[in-house]
Every structure is written in structure tokens, then in C-alpha cells.
Amino acid sequence: MKYWKTYCITCALAATFASCGGAERVDETPETGIVTTVREVSDGEFKIEDEQMVEDKSASAIIAKYADNTTDTIPLSEAKRMMQDTTAAQASQDTTHNRHHHYRRRTSLLSIAAYGYMGYMLGRNRSSFQPRSSAYMNQSTYQRVNNTTGTRFRNATSRSTTSRPKGKSGYGGSRSTRSYGG
């Protein structure tokens, strides 16, 4: 019997909160893409050199400029896969210095790119994240990118708001004509 009372109270509270109207969810999806250029400033350490808008989201990429004068282009789809990849265990078990070094460099460049506007393309939430100035080559690079690409990116993001209709059901949804009490 004691469980029945707890069950009834739980169901009543769940029904009350589920039927309250006016709850909104905002989903912000970039309509355009970003190309982020990162430069290796020391062994395995990267900084964002530039970020540019591209018209097609699928053209988003990270361009890595390594200290040994090589360049690597990582498409957005590959960057997302790498961010979710669990090859850390493989890299730590790998005794080949070159493979481990390559994995560490890639992880570092992805991490720094995610702290810029590319982070939004990689799944960061816009409402709780702002690009970090420390991820950029210097403060003037951060300001330039924020004032150009950042402004265009914020304006190019579509917003879709989903709200439940406010009805007469639910707690406080209608006026009672009777009162009870003493």
C-alpha cells in the first residue's frame, strides 16, 4: 500500500510537469561551413591562424600547417570521426614513435580547432560555448576572426524553436470556479 501512494504521487507530478505549456527548445544549426587553418607553433602545439566561412557546410575542413612545412587537410566528416574515435588505446600501445607522434599531433590540432568556430561544426553547443582567444595565434588574430567570420557565422545560423502549445490543461492552465479549504 505504501508503494501505491508513492506511485500515485510520482505519476501526478509527472503528468503535471508534462502538461505545462510554454516550454521551448531552441536548435541552432549552422547553414554554412568553416575552414579553420591551424599552425604548429612548437612540437605538437597548435594555434588557430585563420577561420573563413564557406558556402557549403560539407566543404568545412581543418587545414593543418606543420612545423616541418607539410600541410594536411582534414574534412569535417573525418574530423568528427577522429573526435569520436577511440584510438587512444591503440596509440598508447603502439611502440612506433612516428605513429604515436602523428596521433598526438592530430589530437592536438583537433583540440585547438574545436576551441575556435570549428567547434560549432564539431558539435559544441552555441549557447554554452564561446571561442577561446587563447586558441588563436594572438589577440589580433582572435579579434579579426571574431569580427569577420564570427559575425558572419552568427548571422548565418538558422534558429528553429520548438514549443508546446499552451492549452487549458495542466497545472494553472485554467481557472477554477470552486474553491476548497477551510
Q: How many C-beta atoms lie closer than 10 Å to residue 177's C-beta?
A: 5
pLDDT of residue 180: 54
pTM: 0.64
Cα 84 to Cα 70: distance, rounded to the nearest angstrom: 25
- Per domain, the residue ranges of the chain are 28-162
pLDDT of residue 117: 92
Per-residue pLDDT tens digits for 133-157? 999 999 999 999 999 988 888 777 6
Q: How many alpha carbons fall within 13 Å on the CB side of residue 110? A: 20
